[in-house]
Amino acid sequence: MIAELGLAALWLAAALAVLQLSCGALSVWSGADNEIAQLTRPAAILQGGLVGTAFGALLWVFGITDLSVKLVAMNSHTMKPLIFKLSGAWGNHEGSMLLWVTVMALAGALIAAVERRLPERTMQATLAAQGFVALGFYAFLLLSSNPFERLAQPAPEGLGLNPLLQDIGLALHPPTLYFGYVGLSVAFSFAVGALVTKQVTPAFARAMRPWILGAWTFLTLGIAAGSYWAYYELGWGGYWFWDPVENASLMPWLAATALLHSAGVLASRDALRVWTIMLGVVAFSMSMLGTFLVRSGILTSVHAFAVDPERGSFILFLLALYIGGALLLFALRAGSISEGERFSVASKEGALVVNNVMLSAILAVVLLGTLYPLLTEAFDIRVSVGPPYFNPVSAIFVFPMLAVMAVGPLLRWRRDNWGRISRELALTAALTIAAIGLLAVIFGMAVLPLLGLSFAFALGVASFLPLRGRKLTRVPLATWGMVIAHFGIAVSLFGMASESAFSEERLAALEEGQQTSVGPWQVRLDGVEPIAGPNWTALSGRLLAAYKGGEAVEIEPQSRNFWAPPQQTTESVLVTRWNGQLYAVMGGEGVDGRWQLRLWWKPFVTFIWYGGLLIALGGAFALVGRVRTDVKRRSAERRIAARRRDEEAML
């Protein structure tokens, strides 16, 4: 019953999306102010409620493990803990698509409810675009991926969820990424709306910006969570493999970062109009491209999704429709949108343009490297493009970008001279060079980690320079956001470079009672015993790990066997200190009764994700700051308008 309710809500929502699209389009076509236009916003708002209901229904059937629903029977199990039953609702294709449209419909409802500062015609076009995009996804769900499909006979027991996915990481990772993707869909709709009416103004950028900031913040969190999850769950200590699926989440982030900065230029200075529109389209294209790559199974990936070429065709069709359509519109329309204000190279805009070009170049490299195997396979040649390609090639663009990032925020808008900030420039350059020299002499490191550490130090200091000489309590929240996010990049970079340069690995085969060392740690194997969990059994090692001869901590890495579905996993244990992590993995038993252990000491590895959190925190600060300023600005405008009306009435 609940499942049917969910399905009915979805169908109704799809019908409302048709209404939203046609009312929006009609009112744009006939000039905005008429009765038809009055229907667009309520259609969007009601849709949000309906899809929310459908998602609630899905959570319900997963929560009670209703085995007459096919999706539950295929992906869940009565013996799973409740939290993983619920998170399992989006641990599969259909459920995750429903989560996607849920977030999308809620976002659509929110803009329909609150966004009133743009010209109504642009808003109608934007809402029509949003309805159009949503409609495609409803069709996808209802026609080829119905999450509420019933089985003729209820299954006696569910097939279970891949044990790697039975993890808190899964509970968080996909929703945050989807919030990001969907936020970009709103930016996309705004861009299309503005292309239709050709009203690309600072007000447009200000309306779009909170959505970009929100999307970007969530994407950052999603990528950080995903990478930490892979790090501790896959059991080999790697956190980024340049795998197609990982790249699929990185590409929208790169595009969103570029969009965020160019929208800032448009909002403050009315420049980079065409470029911002272009990025608005590209950012969402990258989200959809990612979805296509992940779900069509067209590329080999370690993060296997249940893939299906038929679904792949459907998503490709949607991609062709939306992205192809938007790019066609762009090609036809953008020529008549003027470029906007001009500026000199030594200016904040100048620095932001460099940043945008560099980000776009990195995006192009990642896109090329990810899709290239697809191209050669068309000619029956198989190649692999991996870390030895992506790391150095993207570095060509990353390091100049970091340099500009260190000094760009110090520049003034429109026109500035380098002399004014010469002291700061000299400080940053000196820090970088000193760090390069010192590190090269002391450690004799490889080039990339060396540059990474040096730039991290310099950027870490430089990111606070915009605050110099200012009264900290009066610095706008958005500026704090920028400072924190830039500092976060430095922190994350430091973690990556340190992990790459200083990690130590120890593979050991120990008898009970023997010990080994890795970095500053002494690790003793105290014993191994079998234990059982709710849906698994495990061999659990008891290790005593002591840092530099200090007191030992007891850790218990496990080698787990799940039985539904049957699969073996390693449960690694991480011992976190402020200066790094000990990573311990239990392997199998050797012939001679020794136990295989894999140990790593990874200095400052946690900084990678602390940095990610800081970046997201910066995004959140900027978001709150921007929204607050906007609200103030709007209420001020309303007061002025009211006073003017009063004055006119008096006259």
Question: Hey, what amino acid is at 538?
Answer: A
Considering beta carbons, is residue 76 or 285 the nearer one to other proteins?
285
Are 521 and 508 contacting, i.e. CB atoms less than 8 angstroms apart? no
Helix, strand, coil tally for the chain in percent (to 5) = 65, 10, 20
Considering beta carbons, is residue 199 or 500 the nearer one to other proteins?
500
Considering beta carbons, is residue 150 or 506 the nearer one to other proteins?
506
Q: Any contact of residue 241 with other proteins (CB under 8 A)? A: yes
Contacts of other proteins in 454-473 (CB under 8 A): none
Distance of CA 633 to the CA centre of its chain: 30
Q: Which two tokens stand for residue 586?
A: 């239990």
User: Per-residue string for binding with other proteins, 154-193, x by CB under 8 A?
Assistant: ----------------------------------------
Phi then psi for residue 495, to 5 deg, are -60, -45
Q: Any contact of residue 550 with other proteins (CB under 8 A)? A: no
d(CA 42, CA 10): 17
Q: Any contact of residue 590 with other proteins (CB under 8 A)? A: yes
**Whole-number minimum distance, CB 211 to other proteins, in Å?**
21
Find the DSSP H helices in 270-345.
Answer: 273-296, 309-319, 325-333
From the list 136-144, 234-242, 544-552, 608-616, the region that binds other proteins by CB under 8 A is 234-242
d(CA 561, CA 74): 20
Options 123, 298, 458, 584; binder of other proteins; rule CB under 8 A: 298
Number of residues engaging other proteins in binding (CB under 8 A)? 86
Considering beta carbons, is residue 381 or 651 the nearer one to other proteins?
381
From the list 11-19, 62-70, 466-474, 561-569, the region that binds other proteins by CB under 8 A is 561-569
Task: Classify residue 82 as exposed, middle or buried by CB count within 10 Å of its CB (0-12, 13-18, 19+).
Answer: exposed
Considering beta carbons, is residue 415 or 542 the nearer one to other proteins?
415
Q: Which residues contact 40 (CB under 8 A, 6 or more apart)?
A: 20, 23, 24, 27, 112, 124, 127, 128, 131
From 577, 636, 580, select the one nearest 603 (Cα to Cα). Answer: 580
Residue 584 has, within 13 A of its CA and on its CB side, a CA count of: 29
Options 154, 324, 527, 534; binder of other proteins; rule CB under 8 A: 324
Q: Any contact of residue 593 with other proteins (CB under 8 A)? A: no
Q: Any contact of residue 604 with other proteins (CB under 8 A)? A: no
Considering beta carbons, is residue 377 or 511 the nearer one to other proteins?
377
d(CA 456, CA 252): 24
Considering beta carbons, is residue 378 or 441 the nearer one to other proteins?
378
From the list 158-166, 188-196, 259-267, 277-285, the region that binds other proteins by CB under 8 A is 277-285
From the list 10-18, 68-76, 433-441, 560-568, the region that binds other proteins by CB under 8 A is 560-568
Output the 3-class SS for 406-442.
Answer: HHHHHCCCCCCCHHHHHHHHHHHHHHHHHHHHHHHHH
Considering beta carbons, is residue 320 or 642 the nearer one to other proteins?
320
Contacts of other proteins in 325-354 (CB under 8 A): 327-328, 330-331, 334-335, 342-345, 350, 353-354
Considering beta carbons, is residue 143 or 378 the nearer one to other proteins?
378
Considering beta carbons, is residue 197 or 360 the nearer one to other proteins?
360
Rounded alpha-carbon distances, angstroms, from residue 455 to 424, 443, 448, 492, 503: 15, 16, 10, 11, 20
Q: Which residues contact 578 (CB under 8 A, 6 or more apart)?
A: none
From the list 35-43, 48-56, 301-309, 489-497, the region that binds other proteins by CB under 8 A is 301-309
**Whole-number minimum distance, CB 645 to other proteins, in Å?**
43
From the list 106-114, 149-157, 191-199, 237-245, the region that binds other proteins by CB under 8 A is 237-245
Contacts of other proteins in 350-379 (CB under 8 A): 350, 353-354, 357-358, 361, 364-365, 368-369, 371-372, 374-379
- Kindly provide the residue ranges of all beta strands, DSSP E only, lying in 533-631, ordered along the sequence: 536-547, 552-555, 558-563, 566-571, 573-577, 580-589, 595-603
**Whole-number minimum distance, CB 496 to other proteins, in Å?**
15
Are 468 and 423 contacting, i.e. CB atoms less than 8 angstroms apart? no
Q: Any contact of residue 296 with other proteins (CB under 8 A)? A: yes
Considering beta carbons, is residue 243 or 571 the nearer one to other proteins?
243
Options 5, 151, 155, 319; binder of other proteins; rule CB under 8 A: 319
Considering beta carbons, is residue 154 or 324 the nearer one to other proteins?
324
Q: Which residues contact 559 (CB under 8 A, 6 or more apart)?
A: 538, 539, 568, 569, 570, 571, 586, 587, 588
User: Per-residue string for binding with other proteins, 12-31, x by CB under 8 A?
Assistant: --------------------
Q: Which two tokens stand for residue 165?
A: 């996915």
Residue 116: strand, helix, or coil: coil
Considering beta carbons, is residue 328 or 433 the nearer one to other proteins?
328
Contacts of other proteins in 491-520 (CB under 8 A): 505-507, 509
From the list 278-286, 435-443, 483-491, 601-609, the region that binds other proteins by CB under 8 A is 278-286
Rounded to 10 degrees, the C-alpha dihedral 589/592/598/601 comes to 140
Q: Any contact of residue 444 with other proteins (CB under 8 A)? A: no
d(CA 175, CA 177): 5
Options 236, 399, 413, 610; binder of other proteins; rule CB under 8 A: 236
